[in-house]
Amino acid sequence: MSGRTIELKNVAVRLGGVDALLDVSAAFDVGVVAIIGPNGSGKTTVLNVLSGLVRLSRGSASILGKNLSTIPAHQIARMGIARTFQTSRILEWTDIRENVAAALSRTDLGGNGPSEAYRLAEASLTAVGLESLAGVRASTLSFGERKLVELARVHVRKPFIALLDEPVSGLHPSKFPIVADVISQVAARGGLVILVEHDYEFVREVAGQVVALSAGRLVGSGAPAEVLNDRAVLASFGGA
Amino acid sequence: MLAVENLSVVRNGRHILDSVSLTAEGGQILLIAGHNGAGKSTLLKTIFGELSPSRGTVRGAETGSTFYLPQGRTVFPSLTVSEHQRLYRSLVPVSERPDTRLPDAVLPDLAPAGGLSGGERQWLAASRLNVGRPRLILIDELTTGLSPAWRKRMLENLRDATDASGAPTLLVEHNVRDAVAIADRLLILRQGRLVLDTAAAPLRQDTARLEEILLL
C-alpha cells in the first residue's frame, strides 16, 4: 500500500450543467477531516466523488493509491468505506436490527453467519443508544432516530474510511457525544473520517483538520482553529 | 388561534404523544424542541391531519389554510427553481397572494431542483412560506442542513411571514439557540409529553437557563 489514504488531484465535477467542483486538490491520511462551506459549495459532491457516485469531468481521485474511476461503486464499499447521507436511506419495512445487520457485507462478516450479524448489529445499536428499539419497524422511527440507525450501519462495519454527511444535523444536542464517539472509534483504529457539517462547534470538537469549500473551490485547509477563525475564508462564504 | 387538547397518538404499541395540550395565539411563534423520537413531528402531523389521534382534539387547523413544511426537503427534482415558484403561486388563490418576492435570489432560477444541494433544496422547499396568507403555519425543521448565515435569514423570514399573516406558528427545530431569537415561546416535548412551556424572550439573555432547558 503506497501513498495517501485519499487523494484528489485537480478534481472537477459538472452536474446538470452546473459546476459543482472546480479544480479541487487535497490529500488526507488518517484522523478526522471536516468539510465546511456555504450551501451548494460542493461539500456533498466531494463525498459523492469518494463513493463513486458521480463521474469526474477532470482530474483524478484515488483511495489507497487506486484510481476511483476504475472501480465500480459497489466495490468501493467493499474496500472498507462506509457512508451516511443527509436524508437517511434505511429499509422501511424491516426492523432496525435487520437494517443494521444488512449493512454487513460477506467480507465484513469473515465467514460468520446471520447470528453473528445480529449480534454485531445489536452491539452497534447499543453504541448509538437505540438498543431498546432493536425490534421496532424502521418506518415508525423519527428523522433523528433514522439518522442514528444510519450511524449504526456505519459503526457495525468497522470501516477504514467513514464518509458522514451532516451527522449531527437534526439530532438533539444530547446525541452529539454519541456521534463524536463513533467518529473517534474509526480514527482510533487508524482510519479516516470525512464529515460534512454546518455545526462549527461540533467540528471544533471532533476534527483534526478542516477543509473549506466555496463555490466549488478549496478556499482553506488546516487546523480547525486556523480555518474557522480565518477571516478570508469566512469572507469567501459571503452572506451564504 | 390554535387549540390542541389532550392529544394522544399510539402507533404500533408505541405511545408517541401522551395527552398534549397547548394553545397558540395568532402571530405567535411556538418553538418546539426535544429529544429525537420525543413526538415533535407526530405532533405537527396530527395537527395537520395527516395522522389521526388516538384521543384528543385539534381546533383552528382548517384544511386548505394551513402551511405545513414536512421534514425531508420535498421538492420536484425535474422542475427548475422558477418552475417551483410558479407552482407554489398557482396553489394559492390570487386574492391571498402577497406582493412580496420569495427569498430566492440565492438560487439559480433555471437550475433543476434535482441538481441542488441538500441545503439548497431545504431553502427552496421553505421559500413556499412566502406565498399566500396561511392561517396556521406548521414547520418541521426549518434550518436543518443550512449554513449559519442561511439559518439566520430563514428564521428571520419565518418571523416576517408570521407577522404578515397573523397566523399561529409551530416551529419544530433542533437549532434552539438560533431559533429562540425569533420565537415567542419555547416548548419542550419529552417522551410524548409536554414538560415545559415558557416565554422565549428572557432566554435570549439568560443563556445559562437556556442550556439547562436544553438538557431536559
pLDDT of residue A69: 86
Confidence of residue B102 (pLDDT cuts 50, 70, 90): low
How many residue pairs from chains A and B have C-beta atoms closer than 8 A? 104
Q: How many CB atoms lie within 10 A of CB A116?
A: 14
Distances (CA, A) of A137 to A89, A93, A194, B74: 14, 6, 30, 23
Q: Which pLDDT score, from 0 to 100, does residue A79 have?
A: 84
Contacts of A148 in chain B (CB under 8 A): 36
Interchain contact B106–A (C-beta under 8 A): yes
How does pLDDT run across B189-201, given as a tens digit for each residue?
A: 999 999 999 999 9
**Mean pLDDT taken over chain B:** 89
A171/B36 Cβ within 8 A: yes
Answer with the residue of higher pLDDT: B83 or B91. B83
* Lowest-confidence segment of B40-54, B64-78, B138-152 by average pLDDT: B64-78
Q: Model confidence at B63, in pLDDT bands (50, 70, 90)?
A: low
Q: With contact defined as beta carbons under 8 Å apart, do B102 and B127 qualify?
A: yes
- The CA distance from B42 to B197, in Å, is 18
Q: How far is A54 from chain B (nearest CA, A)?
A: 12
Q: Provide the 3-class DSSP secondary structure of residue A4.
A: coil
Say if residues A103 and A80 touch (Cβ distance below 8 Å): no
d(CA A86, CA A168): 10
Q: Are B113 and B121 in contact (CB under 8 A)?
A: yes
Tell me what pLDDT residue B12 has. Answer: 75
To the nearest 10 degrees (0 to 180), the angle between helices B118-126 and B148-165 is 10
Q: Which of A21, A47, A86, A179 to mutate to test the interface with B (most CBs of B within 10 A)?
A: A86
B43 touches A at CB < 8 Å: no
Q: What is the pLDDT of residue B197?
A: 96
- Burial (CB < 10 A; 0-12, 13-18, 19+), residue A230, is middle
pLDDT at A71: 86
Residue of B nearest to A172 (CA): B35
Q: Please tell me the CATH superfamily of domain A6-88+161-236, with its number.
A: P-loop containing nucleotide triphosphate hydrolases (3.40.50.300)
Q: Average pLDDT in the B45-55 region?
A: 93
E runs forming strands in chain A: 6-15, 18-28, 31-36, 58-63, 66-67, 81-83, 161-165, 192-196, 209-214, 217-222
Q: Which of B42, B43, B71, B117 to mutate to test the interface with A (most CBs of A within 10 A)?
A: B117
Q: How many CB atoms lie within 10 A of CB A93?
A: 9
A185 or B148, greater pLDDT: A185
Look at B122 and B109; give whichever has higher pLDDT: B122
ipTM of the shown complex: 0.71
Instruction: Look at residue B64 and tell me whether its pLDDT is greater than 90.
Output: no
What pLDDT is recorded for position B215? 82
Inter-chain touch B41–A43, beta carbons under 8 Å? no
Query: Which triple of cell numbers denotes residue A18?
Result: 452546473
Taking Cα atoms as reference points, which of A182, A184, A172 lies closest to residue A128?
A182
Question: Per the CB < 8 Å rule, is B35 touching A239?
Answer: no
Put simply, the answer to whether A15 touches B144 (Cβ < 8 Å) is no
Taking residue A18's Cβ as centre, other Cβ atoms within 10 Å add up to: 15
Residue in chain B closest to A139 (alpha carbons) equals: B12
Share of chain B above pLDDT 70, in %: 95
A148:B36 CB<8 A: yes
pLDDT at A2: 47
Distance from CA of A196 to the nearest CA of B (A): 10
Decide: A50 and A6 in contact? Cβ < 8 Å. Answer: yes
Band (pLDDT 50/70/90 cuts) for residue B117 is: confident
Chain A positions with Cβ closer than 8 Å to B: 15-18, 37-41, 43-45, 86-87, 136-137, 140-145, 147-148, 165-166, 169-175, 198, 200, 237-240
* Domains of chain A, residue spans: 6-88+161-236
Closest CA of chain B from A19, distance in Å: 11
Give the closest of B111, B116, B147 to A38, CB-based: B147
The answer, yes or no, to whether residue B150 has pLDDT greater than 50, is yes
User: Which grid cell sits at B11?
Assistant: 402507533
Identify the segments of chain A with pLDDT beneath 50: 1-2
The DSSP bridge pattern shows strands A209-214 and A31-36 to be parallel
C-beta of residue B173 within 8 angstroms of C-beta of residue B156: no
